[in-house]
Structure 1
Amino acid sequence: MGIYGALATAVTGMAAQSFALENISGNIANSQTTGYKRMETGFIDLIPDAAVGRQVPGAVLGYSRSTNDVRGDIVTSPTGTHVALNGSGYFVVAEKTGTSDGAAVFGQAQYYSRRGDFEMDSEGYLRNGAGYYLMGVPIDSSTGNVSGSVPQMIKVSNGLIGAEATGRIKYELNLPAEPASGLSADFATVLSNADQLDGDSELAADLGWTAGDTFAMTINGTTHTFTEGTDGTTLDDLIAWVNNTGAANARLDEAGRLAVSPIDADYAITLSGDGATQMYTTLTAAAPPPVHLNASQFVNRSVEGGAITVYAANGASVNVQMRWGKLSGEPDTWQLYYMDKSQPQSWTPVPNAEFEFDDGVLSRHNGSTVSLEDTLVIQIPGLSVNGTVVGDVEIDLGAGGLTQFDNANGRASVSTLTQDGYPAGSFMSVAVNDSGRVVATYSNGKQIELFQIVTANFNAENQLKRLDGGVYSSTAESGEAIISIDGGMTGGALETSNTDISEEFTKLIVTQQAYSAGTRIVSTADEMMQEALNMMR
């Protein structure tokens, strides 16, 4: 090829260095572009066909080499909807093509991007700074699992969420080995003698009643008072009254206990007087109405077990206060109660909520043996507080969540007390968590996971076709997208450009010198040609 070959080769070298300069320029220009991947320049030598002894280096061709697999630095962001991919993969995005009837219309093509500066637009869609819209799969609010596999546009509603009635209370606590100041001591005498309430006047002495003590029973506003005589007439008169007059559907059951059948929703029995405490637990029924001690007497003989706000189906809130009464000493037996009315205060036993403990460990529930592995769930049917009906509510005591270990202050220690209901709430904000889930927060404190952001992976990600706005499209060389919902994200963060300015300036110097050297070759070849032409003059 000679001089002309050298000249042509030098020109290709200059063209290749110009191509490299263009990539360097673009990298420096996008050094602050979110999610940008720099372009490297590679060179291919072009060898002309010749005998081995006559081969020359030949020309050169520049080409671009992507760095899509090189992650940029991740920096925090104050915007909750900003999200960075801390592994491989790309966000799946779509382009808005127009509107129809005031609603956004999106193209069918899917694009892929590492740019995660998403923010909610006026319609509730998440759009990044380049104008592309994020896609994901919806989440089933009842199970918390994704409910599909095909990505769709993520849209967050800014409307109200309806109320949810409380269905379950998670409750775990430790009861004291000995209640403070002898609390609940009077409960033990009653249970040990309850089955003996059969008219025996000697029971008065067993219960500690003396002549002149009074016992009053108020049923639906009508009060019946009995006075203890020297021969136990209180019990005799009470039982005669129960059996002969019916006592508003009160009766003696087969075990000799005073049983009460409900009359209506307002049916209530109030006990007062010297014998009230002893008589309290003798009032039983298959479906017990609100039966209670005088409020101050009950509170003085029980331990506080925590309180929690629960919600009715319409979002109305009520406060459920719980107390525990110790019924006997060996084995230690406790009963759970809740306050069903605050004015006047009344307390109701929770059905099937009698627990026995052995050395601090729960051993029996309503007479049945339990183990530490057993999960205990009891129910309050038709829970109603101060007239507000919540409905059937389960109390989940967990496995090993109820204990009776020594406590120096003699009080119950609540470790867990939560519930699953909530009132209606208005939309406040939206954010993306580290699992890649889009979470909406409402004024009632409820956080609802709406969508799972999906990612797309490729077998040859450096073969993706680059488009405007930091997005890519798949090619035959890259392979089809492999959709994943495994997350690998950091919420409230952004991935920066992977351009290193200092490295780019180094490449700039090298490129400039190589280009300059190419120009010298052109100059030298020109001079040689001039000398050859001068030979003919």
Structure 2
Amino acid sequence: MGIFGALNTAVSGLKAQSFALENISGNIANSSTTAYKRTDTAFSDLVLGGERSNKTRTAGSVMAYTRQTNSVGASPTASSSSTSLAVNGSGYLIVQDATGSVNGAPTFGGGDLYTRRGDFELDKNGYLVNGPGYYLKGYALDPTTGARTGSSTELIQVDGAPYPAAATGAITYNANLPSEPKTTNYVSGDESSWLLGSTLGSTISASESDAFLASSVAGDSVTVYDGAGASYDVQFRWGKLTNADATAGTSDTWALFYQSNSSATGDETAWTQVDADAATAGTQAFTFEDGVLTSPAGGSATIAGLSINGTNLGDVTLSTGATGLTQYADATGLVDTSRVSQDGSAAGDYLGLEITDGGQVVASYSNGRTRALYDIPVATFAAENQLQQLDGGAFAATVASGDPTIGDGSSIVGSALEQSNVDIADEFTKLIVTQQAYSANTRVVTTSDSMLQEALAMIR
């Protein structure tokens, strides 16, 4: 075998180093490709003939094979696109490839594929598709409750439908009421000047408005909506009824009013008191002990038949929470509101889409509202380096990789992209080593040829 064996071995070395050079070339070419996984080259020796016991075994040729680096990630970097995403850690996004198109819309029929390439954009049909043309899948969510509507993933498609109008059903109100309100009538040391007058009842007529405004303090306002999306401004005012410090055996009590008719005249009702405890008829006071709300229990009241300027909006819950409404000393003597919000809205036009940290597809609307449309899951594999690599950074499951385990998308980073895991400096080092090994194998070929010529010359 001698010289001929050396020639064959050197040729196998040339093939192996050429194979390595091809992989290095591909890695360098894709050093800027989103989520590219470099291809490393490993070598395996082959043994030709001989016995181990008599030490006549001769070195054989070499075989090169590909080693995947799917498990080697790269850090996500910020992207200017709100529909881009990156997987920070292990796992893959679930995608499908289109099998054709009908009337300009893609058709699908293949199985699931997997990718870490997250440069997704909306196409004309509302699908999220990445650069190489793979379509993203996720779990559909109920736009009202946010709960998943099915147990399997589906292609993400956003139709751009408007946000429907919603009537206000609840108002959240958090504030601190001053223990000594500085009303217009306020006189330091004179309690009667800042307590709500006993002659004022649960409704305030237009003729009583001046007296009411002078002995109460503003409590902020909130815009509410009816079922058609029309808006109404609700103005609140607080009046203190009793002061525990001055009246033994009593608690601090307050009355909350809202302006029910801004254009009322004479005996027409202008302000209406909120019933603090709907379960107990006639219980209209908010009660505090040592600054803590004690009634209504749990901080939930009902504005029965909320009426603004002749429009009845129905019963609306006023929720302060157990600790959201307090009564502590405040030097300003005014109501300090920390939150006044409500759950209704006007109709809104679709504005755009965003993928958030955690993997939710969220649509935004012109009325300032947002809603989650899809959850994006992440698929993991027991042996991800055994996945079958496809064009465009996609992978297919194999028997060796095992079936995917589908988990939540908590590792997803929104508005980000994973970079290539290619290290240019390392690839240039491997390039130099490969070149030197290839050159050495050519020397073996030329030396073997020279020795063969010598052998042939002996018979001349």
TM-score by length of 2: 0.91
Question: What's 2:248 paired with?
Answer: none
Paired with 2:12 and 2:235, the residues of 1 have a C-alpha distance of 86
Q: How does 1:229-308 map to 2 (within 5 A)?
A: 277-281=197-201, 294-308=208-222
Partner residue, 1:122: 124
Code of the residue aligned with 2:254 in structure 1: it is W
Deviation at residue 55 of structure 1 after TM alignment: 1.0
Instruction: Say whether 1:461 aligns with 2:381.
Output: no
Write the mapping of 1:101-140 to structure 2, written as runs, cut at 5 A.
Answer: 103-140=105-142
Q: Deviations over 1:96-132 (max 9, x none)?
A: 2223355431123111011000000111110100011
Larger radius of gyration: 1
Paired letter, 2:253: T
Superposed CA deviations along residues 447-484 of structure 1, whole A, max 9, x for unmatched, are 11100111111000000001111100010000011111
Residues 292 and 348, structure 1, Cα contact 8 Å, conserved in 2: no
Q: Secondary structure at the match of 1:280?
A: coil
1:337 to 234, 237, 257: 257
Report % sequence identity. Answer: 48
CA deviation vs aligned residue, 1:323-350 (integer Å, no higher than 9, x gap): 1111112222101111111113711001
> 1:7 and 2:4 equivalent?
no
Residues 1:363 and 2:365 are matched in the alignment: no
> Counterpart of 2:130 in structure 1: which amino acid?
N
Hey, what does 2:274 align to over in structure 1? 350
Q: Is the Cα–Cα contact under 8 Å of residues 185 and 326 in structure 1 kept in the other structure?
A: no
What residue identity is the alignment partner of 2:271? W
Contact 2:293 2:322 (8 Å CA) reproduced: no
Question: What's the offset of the Cα at 1:387?
Answer: 2.5
SS in structure 2 of the partner of residue 523 of structure 1: helix
CA contact (8 A) 1:312 1:388 kept: no
**Cα RMSD (Å):** 1.8
Q: Which amino acid aligns with 1:488?
A: S
The equivalent of 1:451 in structure 2 is: 374
CA displacement, residues 301-322 of structure 1 (integer Å, 9 cap, x when unaligned): 1111110111111000111111
Secondary structure of the 1:54 match is coil
Q: For residues 524 and 101 of structure 1, what CA distance do their matches in structure 2 show?
A: 66
The structure-2 alpha-carbon separation of the partners of 1:165 and 1:519, relative to structure 1 and needing over 3 Å to count, comes to same
Length-normalised TM-score, structure 1: 0.78
Question: Which of 79, 82, 86 is equivalent to 1:80?
Answer: 82
AA in 1 matched with 2:274: V
What is aligned with 1:17?
17
Confirm or deny that 1:169 pairs with 2:171.
yes
Q: 1:172·1:414 contact (CA, 8 Å) conserved in 2?
A: yes
Aligned mates of 1:290, 1:299 — CA distance in 2: 10
- The match for 1:241 is none
Q: Which residue is 1:493 aligned to? A: 416
Once the two structures are superposed, residues 166-193 of structure 1 have per-residue CA deviations (whole angstroms, 9 ceiling, x without a partner) of 111111111111111555947858xxxx
Query: Partners of 2:217 and 2:207 in 1: how far apart?
Result: 15
Tell whether the 8 Å contact from 2:140 to 2:150 is kept in structure 1 after alignment.
yes
Matches within 5 A, 1:209-248: none
Kept after mapping to 2: 8 A contact 1:187/1:328: no
Q: Deviations over 1:188-236 (max 9, x none)?
A: 58xxxxxxxxxxxxxxxxxxxxxxxxxxxxxxxxxxxxxxxxxxxxxxx
- Superposition map of 1:172-187 within 5 A: 172-181=174-183, 182-183=185-186, 185=192
Distance 1:293 1:111 in 2: 73
Q: Which moved more, 1:20-29 or 1:152-161?
A: 152-161
Q: Equivalents in 2 of 1:515, 1:535: separation in Å?
A: 31
Q: 1:65 aligns to what SS in structure 2?
A: strand
Q: Which amino acid aligns with 1:351?
A: D
By how many angstroms is 1:278 displaced?
Answer: 4.2
Residue type matched to 2:272 in 1? T
Report the secondary structure of 1:59's partner residue.
Answer: strand
Deviates more, 1:99-108 or 1:408-417: 99-108
Q: Which aligned pairs between 1:366-515 and structure 2 lie closer than 5 A?
A: 370=297, 375-515=298-438
Q: Which amino acid aligns with 1:280?
A: L
Quote the offset at 1:384 in angstroms.
1.9
Tell me, yes or no, if the aligned pair for 2:255 and 2:286 is still in contact at 8 Å.
yes
1:175, 1:512 → 2: CA distance?
81
Q: Which amino acid aligns with 1:141?
A: P
- Tell me which residue corresponds to 1:223: none
Question: What secondary structure does 1:175 align onto?
Answer: strand
Q: Structure 2: how far apart are the matches of 1:443 and 1:385? A: 25
Question: How many angstroms apart in 1 are the aligned matches of 2:192 and 2:222?
Answer: 27
Q: What amino acid is the match of 1:350?
A: V
Structure 1 runs not aligned, ≥5 long: 190-276
